[in-house]
Chain A
Amino acid sequence: MTLTAAFVRDRVRGTILEHIGETPLIPLRRVSAGLRGELWAKLESANPGGSVKDRAGLWMVVAAEEEGRIGTGRRFLDATSGNTGVALALVCAVRGHPLTLVMPDRVSLERKRMVRAFGAELVLTDPLEGTDGAIREARRLAAEETDRSVYLDQYSNPANPLAHELTTGPEIWRQTDGKVTHVVAGVGTSGTVVGLSRALRPKGVRIVAVQPDDALHGIEGWKHMPTALRPAIWDERVADVHMTQGTDEAIAMTRRLARDEGIFAGPSGGAAVAAAARLAREEAGRIVVLIADGGERYLSTPLWES
């Protein structure tokens, strides 16, 4: 069956999962000063699991339930270095499903403790291989344990972009009274950009996709597509504008968002706003920027060292 927003909400009514989505949209008054375009931040850190990944996590799990893929003796499996792991762990805790997450070793203590707090099991892979190494290990485990594992595969799962097409996109349209002109989002699994494009491009909104400017970067959750495993759901044609963003400027903007706007974002939020600000120097309009998560998740990293 094809999921709808009303169906997914009904399935989780009366639980914390009902509060996934409907995140605030906040004008960035100081960052927008002197720019042609006006920047607005969609704060996905307001989701119960603290990130945009709650949406995809919920929809992927409900889709698998509806398809009858999960049942007695089977567990969900996915590869992640961060937010998707927390989101899936939260959703699976509420829905009563066992979950195994494959993550690069040396992920931060916060992430390990959070997913374990929700009851997920962790498999750690070579940190030098990053998220792509975790993906390869998850694929190996899925192929080896077909009778015991349900591989959610956020990089290929159509429920990932569908969640954004049917929730994030319509929210942005409604919250701006249809005045949104551009949407700026980073590319990781690409589910956000692909889903937003399907929802908003037919209404004339320009879709801006941003990637890190180097294979070695610090923008958690984003992928440098020329050197990474390409997500099956990714299609460059969904975006009108492709931009790249350096980590140093992204971190500077992340810190500025806290000081000037009171928005404690993760580095990908700063990266998206930095790219959007460059765009807004040239283009007028109401530019909505997706802030994927909050800064709390990076307190043990050098991001917030003064």
Chain B
Amino acid sequence: MPVTVRLPGALRDATGGLTKLEASGGTLADIIADIERRHPGFRGRILDEAGRLRTYVNVYIGEDDARSKGGTDAPVPDGSEVMVIPAMAGGAHPR
């Protein structure tokens, strides 16, 4: 079952205008790679040259901050929702 990925308007230009799309994969890295196949250049907006989440990008898998679950290795359960939020809208560890 695919996961739903929700993106901020600031990434619209990287996904052909989409802010909500479906993707498949068992980890966050897999999900990003799946989107990259359809929208080349997307990965570089989210990850740095070393393949880590950019410091100013926060990703939530359901309610969990991906950084606290292994970063790009974080597991993404089937059917869950992944949300990408610019860090400028807040910190990394909301309660």
Give the interface of A toward B (CB within 8 A): 81, 104-111, 127-132, 214-222, 224, 227, 247-248, 251, 267, 298, 300-303, 305
Contacts and interface: CB of A to CB of B under 8 A. Distances in A.
Q: Is the interface of B mostly helix, strand, loop or mixed?
A: mixed
A122 to B, nearest CB: 12
Interface of B: 6-11, 13, 19, 45, 48, 53-58, 60, 67, 83, 85-95
Contacts of A227: 9-10
A107 B90 contact: yes
A106 B6 contact: no
A206 B88 CA distance: 28
B9 A128 contact: yes
Contacts of A248: 48, 54-55
B93 A216 contact: no
Most buried by A among B8, B11, B67, B85: B8
B93 A300 contact: yes
Contacts of A110: 91
A245 to B, nearest CB: 12
A52 B86 CA distance: 22
Contact of B90 (A127, A214, A251, A305): A127
Contact of B8 (A107, A216, A267, A300): A216
A77 B53 CA distance: 35
B56 A218 contact: yes
A300 B92 CA distance: 6
Nearest to A113: B95
A109 B95 contact: yes
Given A127-B83, A217-B56, A81 B13 contact: no
